[in-house]
Structure 1
Amino acid sequence: MSERPDPRVRRRRVVALFGSIIAVVLVYLTVVIAYGLSGDVDTAGSTGDAGPGDVILELTPTDVDAAGNRLSVRIEPTDLGSYSSDRITPDETLHLFVTNTDGPRTIEWAADEVAAPATTVLVTDGYVEQWPFDRYTTESVIVPVRVDADGEAVPISYQLSADGRVPGWAITARGDVVNTVDTADGPVDLIGVTFTATRAPSTIAFGIVLLTLMVVMPVLVLTAAFTVLRGKRKIEVTMLGWIGAMLFATIPLRNFLPGSPPIGSWVDYLIVLWVIAGLVAGLVVFVVAWLRDGPAGVAAADVEPSESPSTD
């Protein structure tokens, strides 16, 4: 008659099981909540003092190209103030100067034509190899101007606002007055905007979970291989296929990381390389055990051919 397990052992097993379930549920909820809260653009700092006739420009980040160090921003004139009779069609030609761009630095809104949104690409500083903790910043001075009777570009009073949502990223827009220019209509503050883009918490959590699962694979393979080597489990040749599948699944899993970090990122040196090394080591250990203790084959040379009966 088999002995009943110790109640304390059963209690520890139940606690471990429920603890594991709760941990998995918490990780799942953390990833889901972080994804739902990520992507919105946060604003901070000064974007100009409100004025009744000011031009109001809305900045909307639309895309982050981490590998190319570029940030795409849509600039939309939501209110042309005293320079338009209907708020969206300028009464005179207006120009918008944007610094630190990859391409044209001047946007023109012609007189008597609806001022359409324009997309500009800003150059950023950052290192994608530091994924998922990479950080990108760019500083740009945005100034709307009009051309006076003497052909001189004169800044006009304006305000900036930033809004939008970029999935997978946390973007902060900070406005600061970088200079003040005296004009015939009064002093005009020139506003610089600093955009900072980092990976969203949901992206970081996704990457960490996926990398953790990759680390588990060589641990399982090495555990099984050394168990067979020590003779505690019999050799199953089908395990060679299982280990090979783990090995070939590593690269697709690595390429599935959100944000597609380029080859040579820190995760390759700290995790992916050693995952592959662990899987290969487990394969070697299992082959050694198989060669040592596996069933020997019967060589064809060991079988003597039967003598054919002689015919008279």
Structure 2
Amino acid sequence: MPKLKFLLVPLLVVVAAGLGVWLHAADRSAGDTWHSAGTEVPDRIDVYATVQRIDAAGREAVLRVLAVPRGRFGEDDGAAPTAELRLLNSSSLRGDQVFPAHQRISGADLPIALSGGTVTDYPFDSYDAKIQFAAEMNGEQAPVLFTLDKVDSLFGLSVHAYEAANGVGGAEVRFSRSGGVLIFAVFMMITMWGLAIAVLLGAKHLVSRRRGLVWPSFGFMAATLFALAGFRNIAPGTPPIGSLLDYTAFYWAEAVIAVSVVVAVVAGAITERANAEPR
């Protein structure tokens, strides 16, 4: 039996580590997924857009966009356009991009406005965006092949509809918190409630047993009160105060701990005073 217990601990560690590796692989595979829409004719403009970051509080997504002219529209293996290239986009935050003829094209960061959702729903908030690109070469519309992927590890990306008509390439996308963020946020909620219940049980023991002023116990309780605030502030994505995380766990945990400390100290002081009085 002791040998079985000795082997059980390493086995549980291996299982937990294996589960973590599997979750990481699944989250990474979802993050490496790319989507494309448009036409694949030889003469076209390839538009590569990568989601660099999602600013939930500012309600915008930042895309790094690179246009590559193909066929008769490009030269030097797509590094430069043969004529003036105008890249039209759906961003309401910045105008269209213009690339002079025969000059090397460089990538640019493009902000896209987000709709729907609110950051106070963290960690279950999600946002929608309509991303579209069209192109013109010397006033002539050029077909577009649009490719979208992401590098922001805090959000997942899913496509609801594709736009691939009249030379336009685009997609209607939804950004939601990644699996890693959801797991950590739920872990934070459980931990907050666990610490609050632990302090409550400790205070109940001190009061019911009339232990008086047990300063090491009070130090642990008070430290937990302030430690939870720091713990809450490391939530991935830095959610604002007043989010769902706060209303379901943080506020309640802080209230339970604060009341437990006050009640335990007051009851302990009363007990110490009663014990000190001459009989």
Root-mean-square deviation over aligned CA pairs: 3.0
Structure whose CA Rg is larger: 1
Structure 2: where are the runs of 5+ without partners? none
Distance 1:251 1:25, change over 3 A: farther
Aligned residues of 1:173 and 1:195 also touching (Cα < 8 A): yes
Structure 1 match to 2:262: 284
Q: For residue 168 of structure 1, what is the amino acid of its counterpart?
A: L
- Aligned-partner Cα distance in 1 for 2:213–2:261: 13
Q: CA-to-partner distance for each residue in 1:43-74, whole Å, 9 max, x for gaps?
A: 45x61231122221211111111110110111
Matched, 1:254 2:232: yes
Structure 1 match to 2:124: 133
Q: Describe how 1:54-65 pairs up with structure 2 within 5 A.
A: 54-65=44-55
- Aligned-partner Cα distance in 1 for 2:24–2:154: 8
- Aligned-partner Cα distance in 1 for 2:131–2:151: 19
Structure 2 match to 1:305: none
SS of the residue 1:138 aligns to: strand
Aligned residues of 1:129 and 1:266 also touching (Cα < 8 A): yes
- Aligned-partner Cα distance in 1 for 2:161–2:99: 23
Q: CA-to-partner distance for each residue in 1:228-254, whole Å, 9 max, x for gaps?
A: 212186752222222111111121111
Q: Describe how 1:1-312 pairs up with structure 2 within 5 A.
A: 22=12, 29-38=18-27, 40-44=31-35, 47-86=37-76, 87-104=78-95, 106-125=96-115, 126-147=117-138, 153-173=139-159, 176-177=162-163, 179-180=165-166, 189-231=167-209, 235-294=213-272
Q: Which moved more, 1:289-298 or 1:214-223?
A: 289-298
Distance 1:33 1:67, change over 3 A: farther
SS of the residue 2:39 aligns to: coil
- Aligned-partner Cα distance in 2 for 1:79–1:191: 14
Q: For residue 57 of structure 1, what is the amino acid of its counterpart?
A: V
Query: Shift in Å at residue 110 of structure 1?
Result: 0.5
- Aligned-partner Cα distance in 1 for 2:148–2:42: 20
- Aligned-partner Cα distance in 2 for 1:28–1:282: 36
Q: Greater helix percent: which structure?
A: 2
Q: CA-to-partner distance for each residue in 1:202-243, whole Å, 9 max, x for gaps?
A: 111111112221111111111111112121867522222221
- Aligned-partner Cα distance in 1 for 2:238–2:185: 10
Give the share of equivalent positions with the same residue, in percent.
Answer: 22
Q: For residue 242 of structure 1, what is the amino acid of its counterpart?
A: F
Query: Shift in Å at residue 79 of structure 1?
Result: 4.0
Q: CA-to-partner distance for each residue in 1:73-110, whole Å, 9 max, x for gaps?
A: 11112343211232221111010110133122x10110
Distance 1:70 1:32, change over 3 A: farther
Q: CA-to-partner distance for each residue in 1:155-176, whole Å, 9 max, x for gaps?
A: 2122111234222221235662
Aligned residues of 1:56 and 1:81 also touching (Cα < 8 A): no
Distance 1:202 1:31, change over 3 A: farther
State TM-score, norm by structure 1: 0.77
State TM-score, norm by structure 2: 0.85
Aligned residues of 2:68 and 2:74 also touching (Cα < 8 A): no
Q: For residue 100 of structure 2, what is the amino acid of its counterpart?
A: A
